[in-house]
Structure 1
Amino acid sequence: MKYKYQLITLGSDVRERQIIINQIREDLRNLKLPEEFIKVIPASSIEDEYKGNQPAFALYFGDTSSDFKDLDVTQKLLKDGTMILPIFYDSFETDIPRVLENQNAIKYSENELNRITNVVLEAFELLRSTRKVFISYRRAESTGVAIQLYEALEAYNFDVFLDTHSIQKGEPFQDELWHRMTDCDVIVLLNTPGFLESHWCKEEFAEANAKQIGIVQLVWPNHQIKDIDKSSYLCYPIQLSENDFTKKKYDKTDQLVESMIENIIVEVESVRARNLAARQDNLITEFRNMAEKNNRIVTVQPEKILTEDRPTGEHIIYIPTIGIPRSTSCQSAEIKKELMGYDEVSIRLIYDDLRIRDKWLQHLEWLNDNFKKDIKTLKKQEFQGWLQKS
């Protein structure tokens, strides 16, 4: 298989280097992509193996003794515009060389492992760069924890939806809520004893299942998961205990201890890739099955995109797009077009339009009519009509 994504490792030869590489390979398996999809290139092999015309991302492993290595290669990559993520252990100022002082860095810890690997996947457009979380809860039972999670996840650079904080005045409440759920990566569901007694909470749970959105489910100490709670296709339950709460009351005024908040953030980060893979697979399967019914031959590529070579000589790439297509989706499409080696090709970003607000669908249609002719969006309800074209 031809390598398409280059991960360059710079700096100290520490054990964390292999830990991160192993985690990236596991994430690729979770995404159902070949492990060799990303080629790891040490600094010593740059001259022989690095290809300037293929996507690259670098990790610089710092040194607690300030014994910095690979500075010439690092400077060359910076001049080439390659993104470099410094990883430090004690102090950024002492562990990382000055040439990288303007780069955002991450302090290594086991809790940050998924975050580091997700940054790599996002850089290669294998995981979307938007990091959206939806908090589902019952106000009468868990407001304190909901707000606490909102603030903690926001501080961790997630775009968090919380009904009391995220809907502007004058917007149709329920339409916007479904819209934001459709566009999220993960749902954090606060499963309190009365959660499913609320009509709207039950609707949110059913909607998450229907769209196969991953759920990190926090189960209150005085509550057990019922059969209906286990029906989620991608549900990751965390059973809370009395000691996980600061006041040990676990009512709407109580909050979680800091260590549990950290555990939840780690789980949310971990679930993102698994959830993306499931939703991509679902969209790919539906489109491919409908294509077969209409005698259209589409091929699923290892990159988890579909290609079609029409009898007319036209080449089409179909890219499954999770959530709501944006301009960044078009940029990602351009990269995939180059990697596939096509010169003349049209691209369709296929997506599930269920619960997306009309005003946004109208905006996407306007973009289709007024911008690039070779990159357009194609919503699920129009798959049949598109595939029936001669």
Structure 2
Amino acid sequence: MSHYELAILGSPTEAERAALVRAIATLVGDFGIEIGRELILHDGASVAGRNPRAAFVAAYFGGVPASDVEAARMLVAQSAPVIPTVGPTQEFGTCIPDFLQSANGLRRRGDDEPMRELAAALLECIGLLRQQRRVFVSYRRTEARAAALQLHDLLSARGFDVFLDTHDIRPGDPFQEVLWHRLVDSDVMVMLDTPTYFESRWTRQEIGRARAKEIHVLRVIWPGLEPNRMTDLAETVYLDADELTGSDGPIVDTAADAILLRVEDLRSRSIAARFMSITGKLRADIVKIGAEVEGIGAHRAIAVRLLDQRKVWAYPIVGIPTAEILNDVVEKARRAEQQGIPVLVYDHIGIRQAWTAHLKWLDEQIAAVRAIKVSDAGWELAGWEA
């Protein structure tokens, strides 16, 4: 049975449909999911037969005249999420049926023919990619300040929550504690590799800790630099001398746009790697205590059969848990008709102590969901009391 189902409705061209399917296949492949098995793709004719228990979203391609109108109207009546989308030159009000116009639409960009942005939005709706889109910019202020500020603004304009130390740490906050907290909640690190980047222990720690947390790194290399062994596994963008308008930036538009697209590409791989890491640790501890993993359910929930034969549904999450995420887990478990109290599993390394105390308080106050550290999973589940 499928755990995820997507529909492509409306008036996409054959090339647009094929590009979106390829983009979806690439992104879900990072999670070990195959189209046709764990994920089903529908069109206007088949979407009425979708599995109501599966995580679902539809993309509606605008056009004149409108197509698949009744299928889209049916989904709206069922409160299923539909993302209206138009091309770079199309008019939203003309090409999208009126009953879909209350939903926030996505205007496809001319530089995104592979449909990366739309595919990512669809996967965010079904919970494979988290809805928070977070990037950490690592740089030396003396050498890359203008480029860092430029990328901060460009990524923010594309819907990313970008951490830049000069912008995002409030006066009086413990600088390094907040910085590490924001790092572990990031999807991708953009590293501006300038001549003395590795001469600072702070930037060395940033790149080292990103790799320790399996956060993917995009290394933007200043002209003429030699590779460093700490970044052997990083994705790289090499800048030519004429792609910098000054020694510290900004970066010329074409090169900056290429960096933004690489960040979008890396994001799903980074989230998948961290998800698989948490899942692997959880599975290992389940085996240690003599319990059993029975399978994977909707939203990548893991069914755990304890020694006393009770079933627990565990939800590994990437990044820092919040009250909103706890509520999201409760809603996902309810929609999937899973019995018992769902368990959110997270990696606590790098999270601020004040936030850890907050999570403990939330866990004590909220009866509908539990949260446990993946490092404590075996210990907690061995003595589980709902």
Give your verdict on TM over 0.5.
Answer: yes
Per-residue CA deviation, residues 27-56 of structure 1 (Å, 9 max, x unaligned), is 111121232322222112344x13445433
TM-score, L = length of structure 1: 0.90
TM-score, L = length of structure 2: 0.91
Is the Cα–Cα contact under 8 Å of residues 222 and 239 in structure 2 kept in the other structure? yes
Is the Cα–Cα contact under 8 Å of residues 313 and 338 in structure 2 kept in the other structure? no
Q: Which residue of 1 aligns with 2:79?
A: 81
Q: Which residue of 1 aligns with 2:318?
A: 322
Distance 1:281 1:4, change over 3 A: closer
Q: CA deviation at 1:331?
A: 3.7
User: Where does the alignment leave 5 or more consecutive residues of structure 2 unmatched?
Assistant: none
Q: CA deviation at 1:293?
A: 2.8
Per-residue CA deviation, residues 52-101 of structure 1 (Å, 9 max, x unaligned), is 454331111122xx221222322232232222222222222443333333
Distance 1:175 1:13, change over 3 A: closer
1:252-271 → structure 2 map (5 Å cutoff): 252=248, 254-271=249-266
Counterparts of 1:384 and 1:44, CA distance in 2: 46
Counterparts of 1:294 and 1:52, CA distance in 2: 35
Question: SS state of the match for residue 369, structure 1?
Answer: helix
Is the Cα–Cα contact under 8 Å of residues 291 and 305 in structure 2 kept in the other structure? no
Q: CA deviation at 1:336?
A: 4.5
Is the Cα–Cα contact under 8 Å of residues 31 and 276 in structure 2 kept in the other structure? no
AA in 1 matched with 2:153 = E
Q: Which residue of 2 aligns with 1:133?
A: 135
Q: Does 2:22 align with 1:28?
A: no
AA in 1 matched with 2:18 = Q
Q: Which residue of 2 aligns with 1:101?
A: 101
Q: Which residue of 1 aligns with 2:212?
A: 210
Q: Which residue of 2 aligns with 1:40?
A: 41
Counterparts of 1:266 and 1:338, CA distance in 2: 36
Q: Which residue of 2 aligns with 1:222?
A: 224
Q: CA deviation at 1:299?
A: 4.3
Q: CA deviation at 1:227?
A: 1.9
Distance 1:138 1:261, change over 3 A: same
Question: SS state of the match for residue 378, structure 1?
Answer: strand
Per-residue CA deviation, residues 272-318 of structure 1 (Å, 9 max, x unaligned), is 11111111111122222233333333345276443221232321122
Distance 1:94 1:388, change over 3 A: closer
Q: CA deviation at 1:152?
A: 0.7
Distance 1:294 1:56, change over 3 A: closer
Distance 1:13 1:147, change over 3 A: closer
Amino-acid identity (%):
28
AA in 2 matched with 1:236 = E
Q: Which residue of 2 aligns with 1:239?
A: 238
Distance 1:196 1:309, change over 3 A: same
Q: Which residue of 2 aligns with 1:199?
A: 201
Measured on the aligned residues, the alpha-carbon RMSD in Å equals: 2.1
Question: SS state of the match for residue 44, structure 1?
Answer: coil
Distance 1:72 1:327, change over 3 A: same
Q: Count residues in correspondence.
A: 377
Q: CA deviation at 1:107?
A: 2.9
AA in 2 matched with 1:386 = E
AA in 1 matched with 2:25 = R
User: Where does the alignment leave 5 or more consecutive residues of structure 1 unmatched?
Assistant: none
Q: CA deviation at 1:260?
A: 1.7
